[in-house]
Chain A
Amino acid sequence: MTIATETKAKLPPSKHEFADVIHRLEAGGAMLPDTPENLMQIIGIYKAYAVPMDFYWRDLLYIAERVFLDPFPFFKYFIPKEYLELHNHYAGDDADLRIWRGEATAHPELLEFMEKGETLKMPKLLHHWLHDRVNMEFAEECMRAMLWHGKDMGWGQFDPYLDSEEYIANADKAIKAYFKYNPVMMALYKAFPDLFLEQCRQMSYYSNLGLFWEIMAPVFFEMSDIYDEGGFKGVPDAMNFLVNGIFAIAGRPIYHHVYIRGECYEIIPKSKGFMWLYEAALPYVEAVFYRTSPFRGTKSYNAQAKQVPDHQKDFHYGILYADVFPVGTAGIPPTLLMQDMLHFLPPYLVDYYHQHCRGEDDMLIQLGITFQRSMYCVTSAVIQALRTALLYPLDDPNPKHLQANRAFFEAQIDRFKRPEARLRNIQSHNYR
């Protein structure tokens, strides 16, 4: 609070539509109001999100590194033991940087769910057919959003690299090795090299997103643990944990390795110097939180109706903008994620949902809105991290610097002025 008064003393109040939010950000807070209820919700949902995420990143890496260009990847969602036991680089005893104090292998709740699901213990295939499983399609959709928006966003060097001669040469080696004993595909590769290269680029994005989420999962687990231990005093604490986390792991390399018959092909070597922050996190936030593509159940793709913008930069359909109310019906993709999180809600969140709206029956939407709140918190962390990295401290004595900070905050919040943005809604507790 002291910081806030100081800042206000130095700068006149903002005239922005969301002046309250701007002032909160300038005081080191988040876009999400700081209430115990909000804190409880976002931490609870982080935990519920992290468990399927633990599946996502393992499977994404498995697909990128092992399944690779299999034309009929029927079993790509069946993670082999090797990848379930793959050590997360940011959890466990042998971590590069121990963010979560838990173990490095797959989360026990995830393993339990994979074994028993919501029904009974039965073979994997039956679980798959019963749709009693993690909706990996959601992760792939996020990957596709990053791929499709990749070139236009201008973040990092990852996407331009995919078009470089060097990348094509690396990919060529891997593709030839992969189809060494498959003359049909080899012939096809000769005829349509671009077909395979484009698939390979997609695989590189699988790897990119997998490596990104490998970090987010332990971050969220740790936040949940800290909260359970009574560690966070408010939403800003949680956000600051995220900000610190972003910096701590900013330098994590982003790469794409493929393992073919025991040999590693470095399609994107670590030595390219691609970093978590620039090549994965920022593109991810832009592509998935902000942009993605319109849900077919809410927008017409009719070219004459002009409901889909002409330019990718005008796409604003991410979770920060999405209408969660239709979740559960046809054409609303986040339903897959909401369903995934439904399995892993912490008990206090289940109790909380039972007390509101329709309780058990509309938990899918209640948790969706909680998720939206929590993603506003994550986005706040990204905004604050960018401010730390590129601008000035909040207590900078130079008013010009503070003005620059404010201009930055206002520019960020301007993106939520659109009518469909949910920033307005999450300010109130009645939005649930």
Chain B
Amino acid sequence: MLSALIWIPILGAALIGLWPAAIPASRARLAALVIASSLIVWTIVLLSQFDISNAGMQFSELVPWIDTLGLNYSLGVDGLSLPLMALTALLTWIAIYSTNESVERPRLYYSLILLVNAGVIGGFLAQNLLLFVLFYEVELIPFYLLIAIWGGTTRRGYAAMKFLIYTAVSGILILAAFLGLTWLSGSSTFDYEAIITAGLPLTTQLILLTLLLLGFGIKIPLVPLHTWLPDAYVEASPPVAILLGGVMAKLGTYGLVRFGLGLFPETWALVAPGLAILGAVSAVYGALTAIAQKDIKRMVAYSSIGHMGYVLLGAAAATQLSLVGAVAQMVAHGLILAILFHLVGVIETKVGTRELDILNGLMSPVRGLPLTSALLVLGGMASAGIPGMAGFIAEILVLQGSYAIFPIPTLICVVCTGLTAVYFVILLNRTCFGKLDNDTAYYPQVKFSEQVPALVLAATIFFLGIQPTWLVRWSETTTNAMVAAVQINVDRQLANEIFDGNQAGKSPPVFAAVKQKL
């Protein structure tokens, strides 16, 4: 069942890319869309079949591959990966749909996008550490090419290379951690289930975990490992930026929770305070840098750094609420970032600039881009955490969940939602509000088909904001189990005594327990 999600796009990519006869661009696009749509349908089927009361892996598949290496083709999906998988399916479709119909070298382009999709979904599904790394590295090359070939300005080569080097290093770090982990824990395979860190000495665990965090930290990215991000996001064309920010970065946060929290429940508590502070720092840093930007795409790119800070905070706190919130935030952020990048792309194509000082009055209903502007207001406000939209509930869960554990970083993050509002108001005021310039305001119209991605995303953002159950129900059981594991591993007895699961605020004092143990 799950394999289809990986192999359909790969086959599709091969088909589009290697079809012997010449295919017109529209045909390639259509084929890619059909494949992406089939993935969505498939994901919906999975969603409907998924048992939300089961915390473990579902639809598991296991095919032994290279025994000597311990590399198995092992797939599975649980509440952590399912929402992200669905997000990936949706955003891939959006990315393909929002691509300019006259894109250069369409066959290569669409096959690369499908390859990216396969790689990312593979990453979410892989239940074997080596397989994960494989997928994790596989999607780098297509991304590199997508940025380098279809990127924006002359800096695209630079941006692509920077991206490649950074993320490759990230892969190496993760690989190193996995190798060390398997080797030291004496496991015969790299299968996720088989790895138990419990027996390892604390110091070893800590070193391995640090390696992992650094690896995923680059991918997410966290300050100060983020410098590849503004360049890559800005230089990439909007559909690629959607995939980069909406999908690929989620591999980082996913990895952090899955392998960091999941494999190192004991040591997690040790690094958590540092991570929480780092999350807060990222949030502040992202928000403040965004305020100073003059380029709306760059602004949105920096906003991404800020929002990843909340995910980190939620993961670090590792309470039931905060972890659900972190997963929800990953999804919400993916959707919101996608709509923002798409709209910024539309504005750039129509108006011909992304400069805040030049843009003006796009809300104007006849000569401006009224629907685009309205959706931009919506996207910006969703990002700033206004209730009624998906971002709000995710942020609230993270903040409420983390407050009891890390009050100060949480409050800093609250301040950051305010700063987010500041730069989005700056963006909206300059871009949408104001008066059109009579000398330049002869922009072409935005066609309805160009609005479709944003409309779909906006509808999703609204729906999830008004019915947040649909955002959190998938992951709740799994994350609860993960949190329980953290606590149980710390001290079974202690945990049994304290953990009553009634109130978030009364989460067991994990850290005190750890300290005692140390």
Q: Chain B residues with Cβ under 8 A from A102's Cβ?
A: none
Interface core residue of A325, A357, A365, A431 (most chain B CB under 10 Å): A325
**B367 in the interface, Cβ–Cβ < 8 Å?**
yes
B441 adjacent to A325 (CB under 8 Å): yes
Please state if A361 and B366 are interface contacts (CB–CB under 8 Å). Answer: yes
Q: Name B436's closest neighbour in chain A (CB-CB).
A: A325
Choose, from A279-287, A326-334, A387-395, the stretch at the interface.
A326-334
A358 close to B444 (CB less than 8 A): yes
How many residue pairs bridge A and B at CB < 8 Å?
Answer: 36
Check if B438 sits within 8 Å of A361, measured CB to CB. no
- Shortest C-beta distance, A32 to chain B (Å), equals 18
CB-nearest residue of chain B to A330: B365
Per the bound structure, the CA–CA distance linking A431 and B367 in Å amounts to: 13
Pairwise interchain contact B445-A358, C-beta atoms closer than 8 A: yes
A362 touches B367 (CB 8 A): yes
The answer on a CB contact under 8 Å between B361 and A361 is: no
CB-CB < 8 A to B441: which residues of A? 325
Q: Is the CB of B442 within 8 A of A357?
A: yes
Interface residues of B, count at CB 8 A: 13
**Beta-carbon contact of B435 and A326 below 8 Å:** yes
Give the residues in chain A near B438, CB-CB below 8 Å: 323, 325, 425, 431
Q: Does A199 contact B (CB under 8 A)?
A: no
> Does A244 sit at the interface, judged by CB under 8 A?
no
User: Quick one: closest B residue to A297, CB to CB?
Assistant: B435
Contact of A326 among B361, B442, B445 (CB under 8 A): B361
Contact among B364, B442, B444, B445 with A329 in the assembled complex (CB-CB below 8 Å)? B364
A364 within 8 A of B: yes
Contacting pair B364 A326 (CB below 8 A): yes
Q: Which residue of A lies closest to B442 (CB)?
A: A357
Residues 61-95 of A, flagged 1 when their CB comes within 8 A of B and 0 if not, give 00000000000000000000000000000000000
Contact, CB under 8 Å: A326 / B436? yes
CA distance A425 to B439 in the complex (A): 9
Complex-state Cα separation, A385 to B436, whole angstroms:
36
Instruction: Indicate whether B363 reaches chain A with its CB closer than 8 angstroms.
Output: yes
Query: Taking the nearest CB of chain A, how far is it from the CB of B354, in angstroms?
Result: 22
The residues of B that contact A327 with a CB separation of less than 8 Å are: 366
Q: A358-B444, A358-B445 are in contact. Are A365 and B366 (CB under 8 A)?
A: yes
Q: Mark B431-453, 1 if CB is under 8 A from A, else 0.
A: 00001101001101100000000
Q: Is the interface of B mostly helix, strand, loop or mixed?
A: loop
Q: How far is the CA of A325 from the CA of B364 in the complex (A)?
A: 8
Residues in A with CB closer than 8 Å to B365 are 328-329
Q: Do B435 and A328 touch (CB < 8 A)?
A: no
Does A298 have its Cβ within 8 Å of any Cβ on chain B? yes
**Docked pose: A431 CA to B438 CA in angstroms:** 8
Q: Are A325 and B435 in contact (CB under 8 A)?
A: yes
- 1/0 contact trace for A189-226 toward B, CB 8 Å? 00000000000000000000000000000000000000
Instruction: Write out the residue numbers on chain A whose beta carbons fall within 8 Å of the beta carbon of B444.
Output: 358
Given A326-B361, A357-B442, A358-B444, also A365-B435 (CB < 8 A):
no
CB contacts (< 8 Å) of B361 on chain A: these are 326
Instruction: Give the residue name and chain of the B residue nearest to A298 (CB).
Output: B435
Q: Which residues of A contact B436 (CB under 8 A)?
A: 325-326
With contacts A325-B441, A326-B361 known, is A362 near B435, CB below 8 A?
A: no
CB distance from A324 to the nearest CB of B (A): 9
**A422 nearest CB neighbor, chain B only:** B438
B364 touches A328 (CB 8 A): yes
Find chain A residues with CB under 8 A from B364 CB. Answer: 325-326, 328-329
A328 / chain B contacts, CB cutoff of 8 Å: 364-366
Chain B residue with Cβ nearest A361: B445
Closest to A358 in B: B445
Chain A hits for B435, CB < 8 A: 298, 323, 325-326
- Least CB distance from A238 to B in Å reads 26
CB distance from A66 to the nearest CB of B (A): 37
Map CB proximity to A onto B169-190 as digits: 1 under 8 Å, 0 otherwise. 0000000000000000000000
* Most chain A Cβ neighbours within 10 Å, of B364, B365, B441, B445: B365
Q: Write the chain B residue with the least CB distance to A325.
A: B436
A325: chain B residues at CB < 8 Å are 364, 367, 435-436, 438, 441
Task: Find chain B residues with CB under 8 A from A326 CB.
Answer: 361, 364, 435-436
- Interchain nearest-CB distance for A131 vs B (Å): 16
Chain A proximity mask over B54-65: 1 for CB below 8 Å, otherwise 0: 000000000000
Give the chain A neighbours of B445 by CB distance below 8 A: 358, 361-362
CB neighbours of A362 from chain B (8 A) = 366-367, 445
CA distance A325 to B445 in the complex (A): 15
Q: How far is the CA of A364 from the CA of B441 in the complex (A)?
A: 15
**Interface residues as binary, B403-439 with A (CB distance below 8 Å gives 1, 0 otherwise):** 0000000000000000000000000000000011010
What is the bound-complex CA distance between A323 and B436, given in angstroms? Answer: 10
**Using a CB–CB distance below 8 Å, which chain B residues touch chain A?**
361, 363-367, 435-436, 438, 441-442, 444-445
A-B contact pairs, 23 of them (CB 8 A): A298-B435, A323-B435, A325-B364, A325-B435, A325-B436, A325-B441, A326-B361, A326-B435, A326-B436, A328-B364, A328-B365, A329-B365, A329-B366, A357-B367, A357-B442, A358-B367, A361-B366, A362-B366, A362-B445, A364-B366, A365-B366, A365-B367, A425-B438
For the complex of A and B, 3 pairs with smallest distance between CB atoms: A328-B366, A328-B365, A325-B436
A-B contact sample (10 more), CB < 8 A, given A358-B444, A361-B366, A362-B367: A323-B435, A325-B367, A326-B361, A326-B436, A329-B364, A329-B365, A357-B367, A357-B442, A358-B445, A365-B367
